Amino acid sequence: MRRGKVSLVGAGPGDPGLLTVKAARLVARAEVLIYDYLAAEPIVALAPPHCQRIYVGKKAGQHTLPQQEIDALLVRLGREGRRVVRLKGGDPFVFGRGGEEAEALAAAGVAFEIVPGITSAIAAPAYAGIPVTHREHNAQFVVCTGHEDPGKLASTIDWAKLADPHRTIVMLMAMGNLREIAGCLMAEGLPAQTPVAVVREGTKPDQRTATGTLATIADVVEREGLAAPAVVVIGSVVALRERIRWFDCGALAGKGVLITRPPEDAGEMSERLYELGARPISAPLIAIEPPHDISAARTAVEHAGAYQWIVFTSRNGVRAFFEHAAALGRDARVLGGVKIAAIGSVTAQTLRAHGLRADFVPDDYVAEAVADGLLERTSAGERVLLYRAAGARDVLPERLRANGRICEVVAAYRTRALGDPALREKLARADVLTFASSSTVRAFVAALDGDLSPSRGKTVACIGPITAQTAREAGLHVDVVAEVHTADGLIDALEATALT
Ligand code: SAH
C-alpha cells in the first residue's frame, strides 16, 4: 500500500495571496483536506473537486471536534495511505496546536511534514499599517495568548515582565479578556496612554481596525462591536498606522464586488480585487459551451487553411478553436499561413500561449473600427473567417461583405445564461456590479426575472461601450465604463472612481 503523508500546512492569515507556494501546491493535490473556521474560503476552494473536505470547526467555545479526535482522525487518514492536508490558519505552530498534532503523528509512526505559514501575529498588523518592530521604537516584539484571564491565580504569563514600553506586544485570542488585560498591564506600570490597535479579520476584505490606548481600547472595541478573530497590538509602533496605512484605505477597500463572468475567467478578477482589499462575490451568470452545430465549428477549423484571414473576437474563440482542433486530432498547423486578427489584448495573449502571434490587434475593439482595419489589410475577393460566439453582432461581417470580402461567420461556442438562486442574497452584499459582456447583462436581467430593484443604488461597471449600451437598454444605470476593455481595465476604472 502507498504510504500516506499528513502535511500540517499554514494557510496564512486569510488573503489567498499570502499562501506559500508550497502550501498552494499541496492543497491543489490533496486527497483529504481538513480545515477549520480560520481557513479562508478561496484557499479551501483550491483543493481539487474530488478532494474530500472535512470541516473540524474550532471557534472559541464551540469546538466541532475535540483536539484528540482531530489527532486520531489525522492518524487514521495517514495510515489509510491518503494524501492529507491539515490546513491551519496562520502558522501551524503559532497557537495552532500543530505541535500536538505532529506529536500524535510521530507517535503513531505516520509520515508528516510541517509547512510554516505567515502568522496573523505579524500579517494582521502589517495590513493595518503597523510594523511590529521599528528602529526608532523598539528592538523586540512578543507574541502571546490573551486567552488567559490575567486575574487567574496560576497565570503562566508574567504580566509584570510583559509591561515593558520598549517592546511591542502582539496578543492573539485576547478579545474575551481585553479589559482585564489592559487593566493588568496598566497596573504593572505600562502607561495608560500606550497606543493599542485591534485588527479584526486581518488581510481579509472584512478587515477592520480600531485604535485607542490601554485606557480606552476596551470601550472603543465595545462601541465599534469588534469581535474575534482579532489581533491586539500594544506599543508605540501602533501610531505609525497614521502614516503608513495602505490596505484599508483604497477606493475599493471593503467593497463587495459582484463578478458575473464564467468561473474560468473570474479567478484573475477575484485575485486582483483581493489585493485591493475588496470582497469579490462570485455569481457566474453565463457558461461557455460548445455551439449547437459542432460540425460547422470543426469543419471551419479543418479547412482554416482556405482563408486568408481568421478573426478571433475573444479568448473563448481561441480556446474553442484549439479544443475543436484537438478533437480532430489536429493542432495549430491547420492555420498554416493564414493571417490572424485578434480583438482585444487578452485574445492576443491567449493566442500567444498557443505559440501564435496575431498579425492585427486593433486598438479599438468596436466592430466598425475593426472592420476598417481589416479592409485596409485585405482586398476584394479575399476570404475571411470570423470564429466567434453564436449570436454575436453582425456589424463586422456586413461591413466586410459590403466591401467585397468573402466573409464566413462560424459559431465557435455559445454562451448560456445560468440562473443563480442566491443572486438576490449576493446582490444584498454587493456594492459594485461588474459586467464583462452583453451576455452577462442579459443573463443578469433574466436571473432577476426583469425586476432590477435589487440593483438600485449599486455602482454598475461595464467593460466597454457595447456592454454599457446593453446595460442601459436593459434599464440599468451605468456608472463606470472601462477605457481599456479588459478585466484589469475594468478594475482600474473602478479604482479611479471614488465609490460612495
Ligand atoms: N496559528 C494562527 C493563530 C491561531 S489562534 C496564526 O498563526 O495566525 C487564533 C487567533 O489568531 C484568533 O483568535 C486571532 O487572535 C488570531 N487570528 C487568526 N487569523 C486572524 C486574522 N486574519 N486577523 C486577526 N486575527 C487573526
Query: Of the residues 172, 173, 177, which should be mutated to test ligand 1's pocket, given the most ligand atoms within 8 Å of the CB?
Result: 172
Element (H, E) at 431: none
Question: What local confidence, expressed as pLDDT, does residue 1 receive?
Answer: 54
pLDDT in tens, the chain (500 residues): 566 799 999 999 998 889 999 999 999 999 999 998 877 788 888 999 899 999 987 655 555 788 899 999 999 999 999 999 999 999 999 999 999 999 999 999 999 999 999 999 999 999 999 999 999 999 999 999 998 777 765 677 888 999 999 999 999 999 999 999 999 999 999 999 999 999 999 999 889 999 999 999 999 999 999 998 999 999 999 999 999 999 988 889 889 999 999 988 888 899 899 888 899 999 999 999 999 999 999 999 999 999 999 999 999 999 999 999 999 999 999 999 999 999 988 899 999 999 999 999 998 777 888 899 999 999 999 999 999 999 877 889 999 999 999 999 999 999 999 989 999 999 999 999 999 999 999 999 999 999 999 999 999 999 999 899 999 999 999 999 999 888 999 999 999 986 55
Q: Of 36, 248, 265, 420, which is the active-site residue?
A: 36
Beta strand pairing call for 406-417 and 383-389: parallel
The dihedral formed by the CA atoms of 357, 363, 366 and 370, expressed in degrees to the nearest 10: -60
Instruction: Report the separation in Å between the CA atom of 279 and the middle of ligand 1, taken as the mean of its atom positions.
Output: 20
Question: What local confidence, expressed as pLDDT, does residue 45 receive?
Answer: 87
Instruction: Report the separation in Å between the CA atom of 172 and the middle of ligand 1, taken as the mean of its atom positions.
Output: 6
Question: What local confidence, expressed as pLDDT, does residue 268 receive?
Answer: 85
Question: Can you tell me the distance from the alpha carbon of 133 to that of 219, in angstroms, rounded to the nearest whole number?
Answer: 26
Question: What local confidence, expressed as pLDDT, does residue 267 receive?
Answer: 84
Question: What local confidence, expressed as pLDDT, does residue 12 receive?
Answer: 95
Grid cell for residue 390: 453564436
Grid cell for residue 460: 454598475
Sheet holding 112-115, edge to edge: 52-55, 32-35, 83-88, 5-10, 112-115
The answer to whether residue 58 is catalytic is: yes
How many residues does this entry show for the chain? Answer: 500
Instruction: Report the separation in Å between the CA atom of 127 and the middle of ligand 1, taken as the mean of its atom positions.
Output: 14
Whether omega for the bond prior to residue 229 falls within 30 degrees of 0, making it cis, is yes
Question: Can you tell me the distance from the alpha carbon of 232 to that of 230, in angstroms, rounded to the nearest whole number?
Answer: 7
Select from 417, 359, 372 the least CA-distant residue to 390: 417
Phi and psi angles of residue 443, each rounded to the nearest 5 degrees, phi first:
-65, -35
Select from 121, 341, 320 the least CA-distant residue to 231: 121
Is 228 touching ligand 1 by the criterion CB < 6 Å?
A: yes
Select from 354, 272, 342 the least CA-distant residue to 311: 342
Select from 385, 386, 394 the least CA-distant residue to 367: 394
Residue keyed to cell 471536534: 65
The dihedral formed by the CA atoms of 12, 18, 23 and 28, expressed in degrees to the nearest 10: 120
- Name all domains of the chain by residue range, CATH numbers in brackets: 5-117 (3.40.1010.10), 122-244 (3.30.950.10), 256-285+418-495 (3.40.50.10090), 290-416 (3.40.50.10090)
Question: Can you tell me the distance from the alpha carbon of 197 to that of 168, in angstroms, rounded to the nearest whole number?
Answer: 11
Query: Of the residues 38, 100, 147, which should be mutated to test ligand 1's pocket, given the most ligand atoms within 8 Å of the CB?
Result: 38
Question: What local confidence, expressed as pLDDT, does residue 60 receive?
Answer: 52
The pTM of the whole model exceeds 0.85: no
Question: What local confidence, expressed as pLDDT, does residue 59 receive?
Answer: 58
Phi and psi angles of residue 234, each rounded to the nearest 5 degrees, phi first:
-120, 125
Select from 262, 351, 354 the least CA-distant residue to 311: 351
Q: Of 171, 173, 175, 269, which is the active-site residue?
A: 173
Which class for 62: exposed (0-12), middle (13-18), buried (19 or more C-beta within 10 A)? exposed
Q: Are 27 and 45 in contact (CB under 8 A)?
A: no
202 CA: nearest ligand 1 atom: 23
The answer to whether residue 173 is catalytic is: yes
Question: Can you tell me the distance from the alpha carbon of 103 to that of 101, in angstroms, rounded to the nearest whole number?
Answer: 5
